[in-house]
Structure 1
Amino acid sequence: MSELLLNQSGSLLDKIKGGLFGVAAGDALGGTTEFMSVAQVKATYGFLTEIIGGGVWGLAPGEVTDDTMMTLCVAEGILENPAEPMGTIGRLFREWYAGGPKDVGNIIRQVLERYEGNWYEAAFVAHLDLGQSAGNGSLMRCLPAALAYASLEQVEQVSRLQSRMTHYDERCDEACILYNRMAWRLLQGEELKEVVRQVVAGTDYAVGLGTEPLCSPSGFVVDTFRWVLYLLLDSASFAKTIQRAANLGGDSDTIGAIAGGLAGLYYGYAAIPGEYREAILIKGRLSAAAEALYLLRQGGAGVEGAGV
């Protein structure tokens, strides 16, 4: 990261970089406890606060999973072709998958295996074969759309399109759009809790908002998003947000990544504990993406005609 650029850009670059590192830190911390129960997490770790790796995927300390890697695919795909990003995002998804990643969500795996030139068709076929496609795999990766484009209309268009590439269910579209509306407003300097409440007002997510969800911390997009909203409203710092996500067990890496993205954006890169920032193994790639997204956003790139 260029120190001169960081000093000149002030809070905007700090927020963008905080968002990407927030995804990665939440992912890396939560990856240790994925698929565990709350009781198992407590018996094994007490209250996990350190990025130590391990877990079901045998992660190295600071290694991230599909949540961060697919977020980078979206970010780098937009950067390569901001006006028509879906083709490049899709190519990067396939290149990432060809590398044999440890962790690939079932819905995304099914789509990637069925892809024959049309992402929407592959997503629809996977939806039919699986009987559902309301997972959290498009929500976990959608943040770069809000970081890249200054226009909210453009943010929402790319958020929806990147979701539809793998997740046919409209609940995934809705979650991605709501999430990135929050991100877009946080980049304007608005207050986190006020933004969360205002964006979900009038939706099903407003029911019980601010109280601990009755659902499990599962990979179902509605359950995931309810937990993310609760953690954002009920935590007073970046560190507490992702630590509480990790100690939920269940789909803890993805809940941590999604909550961490907005928390990192709001509190900023400087507020992410140094031990978390330094632990991330791909921190150089994240920093480069953040700087490039900042420059793209400052340039006002559009997405007219964005497609697959």
Structure 2
Amino acid sequence: MLKNKLKAGIIGHLVGDALGVPVEFKSRKELKKDPVSDMQGYGTYNQVPGTWSDDSSLTLCLLESLLKGYNLNDQAEKFISWLDDAYWTAGGETFDVGNTTRVSIAKLRQGIEPTAAGAGGERDNGNGSLMRILPLAFYLIDVDSAEKFKKTKEVSSLTHSHPRSILGCYLYLDYAQRLIMGAGLQQSYEQTVKHVNQFIAKDNFSSELKYYNRIAAGNIKDLAENEIRSTGYVVDTLEAVFWVLLNSNSYQESVLKAVNLGEDTDTVAAITGGLAGIYYGFNSIPKKWVKQLARLNDILELINNFCKKI
């Protein structure tokens, strides 16, 4: 079961990313007039159909690193290789790199300790760690909350060390793990909200919970679409992901709805797609989209190698 969900989650993430790449930064108004309904290419970055971005590159870097165990220095080396040498890129080109991620990797390159490299200012709360952390949900499936939070904090802090980014990653990981264990979309959401409200109350991160109050209130589903923002701000991204998932009934509906919210289309759709893949299963992802993914065989080989370890 775990192996099937890993494959569905990773491929679901990449497909969502690839659907969003050509229209990144397009407004919701523009996409209302000309919505994305299929895999397409070119557009924002002039990439061929099936091209995925930094979201997926760094996710695959983390997945590959975890094959050998939990090693922050190895994760850092892979991130540096991605930025400098286009490692784990779709077509040998690194594009769409967030500024916080770029600056933090520069610090890693200088030899700064991985957990001290990430930017920790309030303005450094983009979705750059949220977008790459899904493999950790599978790797930490059997650990307690304290250990899960500790490692989530460390992995996020390679690029994003502000408590708000870390809390967003923890919310996401906890939710993903509940889906992995077989709970429903709404049930997992309710359980995550309850758990995080209780767990964070005992932690010095509790002051950051107010920024997630629309998620923590337990009724994000009931907000109108025009109340949902789909920017690169970590809180906006996570709100959009929960809103889409809880207002959709299939993988395809979820990722297309995510893309057509506009703005940070690739990241919102990638994170949505990973969770939707876990919940709806690999066979729910349209085969034609999967076949169009760049480097599909390499990705499947990496997934299979990881599956042998879990």
Instruction: Please give the TM-score of this superposition, normalised by the length of structure 2.
Output: 0.85
Query: Are 2:8 and 1:18 equivalent residues in the alignment?
Result: yes
Aligned to 2:216: 206
Q: Within 1, Cα distance between the matches of 2:42 and 2:294?
A: 14
Aligned pair count? 279
1:13 is displaced (CA, Å) by 2.0
* CA displacement 1:155-189 (0-9 Å, x = unmatched): 44332211011102111111111111122222211
Aligned to 2:41: 53
Aligned to 1:93: 79
Segment of structure 1 superposing worse, 199-208 or 244-253: 199-208
Amino acid of the structure 1 residue aligned with 2:186: K
Aligned to 1:289: 302
Amino acid of the structure 2 residue aligned with 1:133: D
Amino acid of the structure 1 residue aligned with 2:137: A
Query: Are 2:237 and 1:224 equivalent residues in the alignment?
Result: yes
Q: Within 1, Cα distance between the matches of 2:153 and 2:32?
A: 37
Segment of structure 1 superposing worse, 29-38 or 64-73: 29-38
**Equivalent residues in 2 for 1:8-87 (5 A)?**
11-43=1-33, 46-80=34-68, 82=69, 84-87=70-73
Over 3 Å counting, the alpha-carbon distance change for 1:150 and 1:136 in structure 2 is: same
- 8 Å CA contact 1:148–1:294 kept in 2: the answer is no
Secondary structure (helix, strand or coil) at the match of 1:132 reads helix
Unaligned ranges ≥5, structure 1: 1-10, 298-308
**Equivalent residues in 2 for 1:141-290 (5 A)?**
141-153=132-144, 154-201=147-194, 202=197, 204=213, 205-207=215-217, 208-210=219-221, 211-212=223-224, 214-290=227-303
1:144 is displaced (CA, Å) by 0.2
Identity %: 32
- 8 Å CA contact 1:134–1:221 kept in 2: the answer is yes
1:98 is displaced (CA, Å) by 0.5
* CA displacement 1:222-269 (0-9 Å, x = unmatched): 010000000110110001110011111100100001111111111111
**RMSD across aligned C-alpha pairs, in angstroms?**
1.7
Q: Which runs of 4+ in 1 moved over 4 A?
A: none
Secondary structure (helix, strand or coil) at the match of 2:289 reads helix
Over 3 Å counting, the alpha-carbon distance change for 1:42 and 1:215 in structure 2 is: closer
Aligned to 1:121: 116
Amino acid of the structure 1 residue aligned with 2:216: A
Secondary structure (helix, strand or coil) at the match of 1:95 reads helix
Over 3 Å counting, the alpha-carbon distance change for 1:270 and 1:133 in structure 2 is: same
Secondary structure (helix, strand or coil) at the match of 2:23 reads coil
- 8 Å CA contact 1:65–1:103 kept in 2: the answer is yes
Among candidates 98, 101, 126, match of residue 135 of structure 1: 126
Higher relative contact order (CA 8 A, sep 6+): 1
1:276 is displaced (CA, Å) by 1.3
Instruction: Please give the TM-score of this superposition, normalised by the length of structure 1.
Output: 0.85
- 8 Å CA contact 1:14–1:270 kept in 2: the answer is no
* CA displacement 1:182-235 (0-9 Å, x = unmatched): 222222111122101220233522234112362421111001000000011011
Amino acid of the structure 2 residue aligned with 1:178: L
